[in-house]
Amino acid sequence: MISPVLAHGQALRQLITVEFKNTAIKDAFKELNSLAGVKFVYSPKDLDENKKVSGKFVEKSAASVIDFLLSGQNVTYSVKDNTIIIRKVTQSKQQPIQQRSITGQVLDESGKPLGNVTVKTNTGSHEAVTDDSGNFNIAVVANDTQLHFSLLGYSQSQISLTGQTTYIVHMNGAQQDLEEVVVVGYGIQKKVNLTGSVSAIGGEELSKRLVGQTSMALQGALPGVTITQRSGQPGADAGGIRIRGIGTLNNANPLVLIDGVEGSMENIDPLTIESISVLKDAASSSIYGSRAANGVILITTKRMSGKGFTINYSGYGGVQSPTDLRDMVNAQDHMSLMNIAYENTGASPVFDQDRVRDYANLHAADPDNNPDVDWQDLVYTESGFTQNHTATINAGMDRIKLMGSFGYYSQKGLIKNTDFDRYSLRLNTDIDLTEKLSLRTDVMLRQMTRDEPGSSVASVIQWLNRLPATEPALYTTGLYGHGWQGNNPLAMTMASGFIEQVTPSVQLNLGANYKITDKINVDVAYAPHIYEEHYRRLQSALPTYYPDGSVAYSIPEQTMLIHKNTRFHKGNVRATIHYDDRFNDHGIQLLGGWHQEDYSERWFQGSRRGFDLPGYEVLDAGSREEQQATGAGSDWALRSFFGRANYDFKERYLFEANLRVDGSSRFAPGHKWGIFPSFSAGWRISEEPFWEPVRDKLPEFKFRTSWGQLGNQNIGTYPFDAFVDLDVPYIFNANPYNGAALLAMANNQITWETTEMTNFGVDFRFLNNFQMTFDYYVKNTRDILLTLDVPKIIGLAAPYQNAGKVRNKGWELALSYANQVNDFSYNFGFNLSDVKNKIIDLKGINNTGLTVNHEGYAMNSILALEAMGFFTSQEQLDNHAQQYGNYALGDIMYKDQLTVDTDGDGIPNEADGIINDDDKVIVGNTIPRFTFGFTTNLSWKNFDFHMMLQGVGKADGYLYSQSVMPFYLGGTAQEAHKDYWREDNQNATFPRLAFNEPNNENHSTFWMRNAAYLRVKNIQVGYTLPQSVLNKIGVHKLRIFASGQNLFSFDSFWDGFDVEAPVGTGNYYPQVRNFSVGLDLNF
Amino acid sequence: MKRIIYISLFTGLIGFSSSCSDYLEKYPIDKPGSSTFLKSEVELDLAVVGAYQRLWNGYGGYSLPFEIMLDCTTDIAWERADASWQALGNGKVDPNNWVIGNVWTSMYDGIQRCNFIIENVDRIENITNQMRVDHSVAQARFLRAYWYHHLIEMFGGVPLVTTLLDLETAYVGRDSKEDIYDFILDELEACSDILPDSYTESKDIGKATKGTALALKSTVALYAGRWDVSADAAKRVMDAGVYQLESNYENLYIKSKQDVSKEIIFQISFLAGTRNHSFPGGVTTRMARGYSSKVPNQALIDSYLCTDGLSIDESPLYNPQKPFDNRDPRMNVTCVVPGDVFGGYQFETHKDSTQCWNYNASPATRVANQDATNPYATFSGYVWKKYTDMEDPDYLNRSNTAFLLLRYGEVLLNYAEAKIEANQIDQSVYDAINAIRDRANMPDIDDGLSQAQLRTIVRQERKIELALEGKRLYDIRRWKIAEDVLRGNLLGRIERGLLANAPEIDENGNPHYDNVTNRSSMRVIEVRLFNQRNYLWPIPQIEINVNRNIKQNPGY
């Protein structure tokens, strides 16, 4: 008899439905064998195999059925692979005195009871299995010193016997646990039966990374998922997520579903996450049709299963510091270098030369009139205290199971008066109304608050990066200096009022599941989500002063308050019907469903200026003069029908087909509906009979392939028509009048953007502890909705067109290895992926700018001149092509590209002798390639260690303007800029200083840097206090840990800037490194 | 039984979903669709306001219309804070310059708003006031002509678009500048036939009138060198009796006086709360909390005549030790010069004047002088005063003062120049020039001057009278003197002293400093390039990239 080899730990945990009516146990065993693939080995002497049993089990674990069958017989059993070995409970009558009984309970890491755990003494003398509530009772003899606990899918655990008679034991899910069953669209699937490409990560791994925004916990964790963090600002530090490259020039964010409902992955308490699945290929994600083109992320929150009651608390606190800050020149250097920059252009020096020479003395004698300010030091003063507290209650009763969680997260900024906090409350309840009908009522309440100074963090940072050390910040009198024309970032952080964004949210996820028969069930769900954004900005009149105490400026002149309120409503209704059956070797699963979702947004805003009474920060307290009120809103809706069919033969040949039909309000009538099919197949070669000889070594080996189509409709709400804007007023006779104007072109022909993806994959397992997954894919996106540049003489903003074609080709590799040697257990995970992005077609329209989309190149490529070093001789100046402005020795020399076709063959073969836009070529690619992550988990006795390395193998970064160019638009310079070109410093890093000369400020390869990096993203060290200590204080488990995020980076990017800095001017809130300590506690 | 209930519930949901078939029909709640717009006279009124709205552009960081910034690209002024504006003045402009891109785009936006009205006006049903509809369409034609007039002066020939374009019809080439002159002049003539002399309803006051169309026509024809056309149009404005010179030059730039002025023919209006500007904050003295970022330079100051009507290199009234005494009074209306009091502070830019008087205190006190010590005080030693009306509430950053686009004074000068160039010199030419001079309290010009002498006078007069009103760039281009005045060092005052002697003033009223003995001490603000290419600005690169039928101007 051939029975399928089940994955490690699968046998006892799989859910089966079976009914016995006066069945002999041996016949029941046969039925179980065909249903669950378990074999039974026993001696008829130990077990009454003809005993008749009756009972009915619906979706119960195989273990509980076996327990039922064996109840009342004096036997115990152990499991080896898929074989149940039944033995009589041995009672040693020879040594009755030395034997005693030990009881206890086994819990998982979240405190839920674990059934079916095998408990063994270290001598092997006795063995027992825990019941549904995790309780065990085992006999031990004198030379037993330890109990060993094992449950497939969990790490082995042991306790030392200390003389007590009761123990609480915790077991941690092993890496394989999650991989056994994976959450897929509208259901779950056995990992071994997957034919699509899905990566998953468990809640435990996520919880090791102490981040406020869930996206950052995913960085480097999964192959094919690229996360880039562009800012460290509290509440705005989420990463951008790209799955398998960028397939669209529009919104390339993946679809995120939390328990089946679209939402933001940020700001869900990471500790309430059970698992995250990323659906990467078309086969796995096409069930989400028109929203799946950028990939789908499924987040499943924790629920209670089993019985029992536990309380967990998890918390940490820590501090932050910037990963990198720029080092600006002091006042004297600023002035003398600036003067050089002026004189080099032929202009008169801007600072008095005598004063520059004497500045050190002048500053010492009178710092108010001769400031020397380190703005970075003065503004980045805070340690950014961060804390997180999550309390979870799990309660499981006969028919009601609930998981309640309350979380508080708070993060202060590096700048005063910037912070973020979040309260979240989740209550997931499952109710079995009848045998057939069960209900889910999930409630999620959340409120986030983000604060920043009234003049905004962006403007504080812009000014602090720009201000020279010569401008006064704070006088000895305590008054704020005028900084730059009244812009003083220190005063802005301290006294410019506030911006406060409060976002309360209420979400329900209500569902009912009805089992029509054992094989068919219907599920309906309704998930309304209402959230609001209360935005208040009080921009205080901020006076700044001259040294003599007189007011220099006030920006703004009058205090202004803006109060904006936006209310969002999302409706979400869906119904699915599942059919699941197996006839001998044939397995069939069918899914059909209907889903509709709508969104509406309404906002209004009021503002007043002139608040005479300080402290009254409501609109009513302001002056009625020039009060303003504005408001508007928007809606969209989506309706879908979908279905899926799975078929397998002996779980050896696997087939799946999906179809989704989506209708969207974003398109014109006649173009609203899109159809998105997919097909996939798998071949588990390891299930073939000929595999037998190597099955010991290679128990699992599978080939997968898939093809499918996906859509994208993230293109604005009403792109299909042009609308007349009513917000274009003008003044006549000192009165305002409303106007109307058409601002954008319409294109009612536009339709879905379609992504077609083909995927090939291999999964295999070597022995039991090494696993590998490899995928190769080609992802073609066509009909990309683009706003191609159109002639500006049209006078209207460009319309969307179905114009582009983009190809992403890539591969992904994931390796993991886990093992245990005595008390030392360890596992390693490594993933590496690459994607090559290429624009195939853009209707011949290549846009211009710094990051561009050109046919034949990757999206967001860098378009710039090729720098050829500096001009070092007059001869070069004379003979080289004409460049920009008044260029001279020490300026950057650019390559004069071949742009003129003189021989008429259509290929340019000569240069035109002038450096201009025609000489700009694609020089760099900003899409990260060879992204990788490496995870290490070690544990030894009560100690555990976690480390995560993460990085990018290839990417180009680019900074310009005041970030790296000295004195850009009158700004200041950095220490590094002192290494500028001059006659006696020809090997300089930077070109000649030349104020406002355009030559060196043109975009060129000179300012581009390699943005590859390796980062020690996270290290965590934990220690679990021994049970003997905890029992005295009534605690089940207590673990303390210390953790660091973003600890070190290795890169060759511009000094002073984080390597993940966005292409741009460097005015971003610095990324942070943080150190935390915390504890996990179970009662 | 239950099974039936649930199945029917499930199918019911699907049925419900398919029954509400408008579930997927969503339209904006705040914007009408374009295909049906302009169905009523109310909508026409809205569309006309929307077309005027395009007169507002945001430049120079202070919500300034480009017209007010234009002088910064000439020999009389300089912009410190924006390198793109500097590049337009110093010749280093390239086709990616954001200013030209913005100007180009916003003017064609405006033109298309006008075309929308002109093309779709026949959609209006049940017209109750045909005359008002006609006026509206004529205003759209006027505004379109206004923008084309700027486009051709900045860029040369451009695509002449008079209908709404779509993606098939938009790839057209450039029309010649002369053809567009013909078009503009014809259109303005047609508008002047339709538009009324003035409006009675408050909501119309400020819209284009017959006089507006003719005033612009005289300017455009002058630029085109069509002297008869220019003089004729100007004459019709002069004869209409609707407009007259303000008695006081300064009143033109004071908000409360602008509202009742009979000299202003067309303006860009502001109103705090809807749209205001920060021109005063951008330009005034440091002591008055301005940024002094757009400044008049030494060459403008030295271009003002002495009160005897002679230039400073000829007048006995000019004293190099007191260079600001006995000068054309318009200097003190247009600029703040050392020795003036502005905002209650003594204005002094001599670098050693580290303290100045604060007359806002009583008695006056000595305070630290930011206009001398701040390294970013005016680079030239002078600042603008025009349009910095301190009576305007919160005048620094929320000014309501209108910027003038066309005024009667300009019409008189157009008339005089056109007649002089046509060599039809008669008393009306003298009258026109003397009217301007009289109002400025400057002496009349001598009788019996030659064409060349009159040309010098009218060019000098335009420079002074219209300084900071956006006319200078087009003047120096059409007079072909840009290569003389826009090349070399842009100069500011001597930081610790005065010019030892007056510079030579040439026949176009422009100073030359070769003869000034201490000229090497003058502050070099920037070194300017000027090549022949700089007579036109480059066509924005994006337009060249997108539309292969548009050829770039030579040299870019």
DSSP A804-827: EEEEEEEEEEEEEEEEEETTEEEE
- Please report, rounded to a whole number, the percentage of residues in chain A having pLDDT higher than 90: 53
Structure tokens at A221: 């964790």
Q: Which residue has the tokens 């003035």?
A: B198
Distances (CA, A) of A831 to A775, A816, A951: 11, 9, 11
Per-residue pLDDT of chain B (556 residues; tens, 9 = 90+): 455 555 555 555 554 444 456 888 888 888 888 878 999 999 999 999 999 999 998 876 677 889 999 999 999 999 998 889 999 999 999 999 999 999 999 999 999 999 999 999 999 999 999 999 999 999 999 999 999 999 999 999 999 999 999 888 999 999 999 999 999 999 999 999 999 999 999 999 999 999 999 999 999 999 999 999 999 999 999 999 999 999 999 999 999 999 999 999 999 999 988 898 999 999 999 999 899 999 999 999 999 999 999 999 999 999 999 999 999 999 999 999 999 999 999 999 999 999 999 999 889 999 999 999 888 899 999 999 999 988 776 778 889 999 999 999 999 999 999 999 999 999 999 999 999 999 999 999 999 999 999 999 999 999 999 999 999 999 999 999 999 999 999 999 999 999 999 999 999 999 999 999 999 999 999 999 999 999 999 999 989 988 989 999 998 8
pLDDT band (50, 70, 90) for residue A560:
very high
pTM (2 decimals)?
Answer: 0.83
Give the pLDDT mean for A747-770: 88
The reply to whether residue B92 touches residue A663, judged by beta carbons under 8 angstroms, is no
The reply to whether residue B368 touches residue A635, judged by beta carbons under 8 angstroms, is no
Give the pLDDT mean for A452-459: 93
- Choose the closest CB to A791 out of B274, B394, B546: B546
A861 contacts A924 by C-beta, under 8 angstroms: yes
Indicate left, alpha or beta for B195 from its phi (over 0: left) and psi (-120 to 50: alpha). beta
Whole-number Å distance between alpha carbons of B460 and A896: 45
**Mean pLDDT over each residue of chain A, to the nearest integer:** 88
| Whole-number pLDDT of residue A494 | 94
Among the residue ranges A241-245, A515-519, A620-624, the one predicted with the least confidence is A241-245
| Whole-number pLDDT of residue A9 | 45
Structure tokens at A1: 């008899």
| Whole-number pLDDT of residue A6 | 34
pLDDT in tens, A702-740: 999 999 999 887 777 888 878 898 889 999 999 999 999
| Whole-number pLDDT of residue A413 | 92
Indicate left, alpha or beta for B284 from its phi (over 0: left) and psi (-120 to 50: alpha). beta
The reply to whether residue B9 touches residue A524, judged by beta carbons under 8 angstroms, is yes
Structure tokens at B129: 């006031």
The reply to whether residue B83 touches residue A998, judged by beta carbons under 8 angstroms, is yes
Task: Check whether A92 has a pLDDT greater than 80.
Answer: no
| Whole-number pLDDT of residue A233 | 84
pLDDT band (50, 70, 90) for residue A1:
very low
**DSSP assignment letter at A631:** E
**Helices B451-465 and B427-439, packing angle to 10 deg:** 30
**A570 to chain B: which residues are within 8 Å by CB?**
none
pLDDT in tens, A911-964: 999 998 889 999 999 999 999 999 999 999 889 999 999 999 999 999 998 899
Does the ipTM surpass 0.85? yes
DSSP per residue, B59-107: BTTTTB-HHHHGGGGSTTEEESS-HHHHHHHHS---TT-HHHHHHHHHH
Among the residue ranges A144-153, A782-791, A998-1007, the one predicted with the least confidence is A144-153
Rg (CA), chain A: 33
Interface test with B, best of A290, A793, A915 (most B CBs within 10 A): A793
Whole-number Å distance between alpha carbons of A517 and B45: 68
Structure tokens at A187: 């259901």
Residue B14: half-sphere exposure toward Cβ, Cα within 13 Å: 14
Whole-number Å distance between alpha carbons of B438 and B246: 11
Closest Cα of chain A to B547: distance in Å?
6
Task: Check whether A90 has a pLDDT greater than 80.
Answer: no
| Whole-number pLDDT of residue B15 | 47
The four Cα atoms B79, B82, B84, B89 give a dihedral, to 10 degrees, of 10
**A366 to chain B: which residues are within 8 Å by CB?**
none
**B83 to chain A: which residues are within 8 Å by CB?**
969, 996, 998
Cβ within 8 Å of residue A633, ≥6 positions away: A600, A601, A602, A603, B29, B30
Burial A85-99 (b: 16+ CB within 10 A, else e): ebeeeeeeeeeeeeb
> In whole angstroms, what separates CA B275 from the centre of its chain?
17
Closest Cα of chain A to B38: distance in Å?
10
Burial A702-714 (b: 16+ CB within 10 A, else e): bbbbbbbbbbbbb
The reply to whether residue A970 touches residue B81, judged by beta carbons under 8 angstroms, is yes
Residue type, position B371, single letter: D
Whole-number Å distance between alpha carbons of A526 and A260: 10
> In whole angstroms, what separates CA B390 from the centre of its chain?
21
pLDDT in tens, A117-130: 888 887 777 888 88
Whole-number Å distance between alpha carbons of B246 and B439: 8
DSSP per residue, B181-233: HHHHHHHHHHHHHHS-S---SGGGTTS--HHHHHHHHHHHHHHHT-HHHHHHH
B218 contacts B471 by C-beta, under 8 angstroms: no
Task: Outline where B360-426 has alpha helix (H).
Answer: 370-373, 408-421
A261-262/A867-870 β-pairing: unpaired
Whole-number Å distance between alpha carbons of B93 and B83: 10
3-state helix, strand, coil in chain B (%, to 5): 45, 10, 45
Task: Check whether A865 has a pLDDT greater than 50.
Answer: yes
Closest Cα of chain A to B451: distance in Å?
39
The reply to whether residue A848 touches residue B526, judged by beta carbons under 8 angstroms, is no
Task: Check whether A835 has a pLDDT greater than 90.
Answer: yes
Give the pLDDT mean for A761-772: 89
Interface test with B, best of A724, A802, A962 (most B CBs within 10 A): A724
A173 contacts A192 by C-beta, under 8 angstroms: no
Task: Check whether A1002 has a pLDDT greater than 70.
Answer: yes
The reply to whether residue B108 touches residue A522, judged by beta carbons under 8 angstroms, is no
**DSSP assignment letter at B288:** T
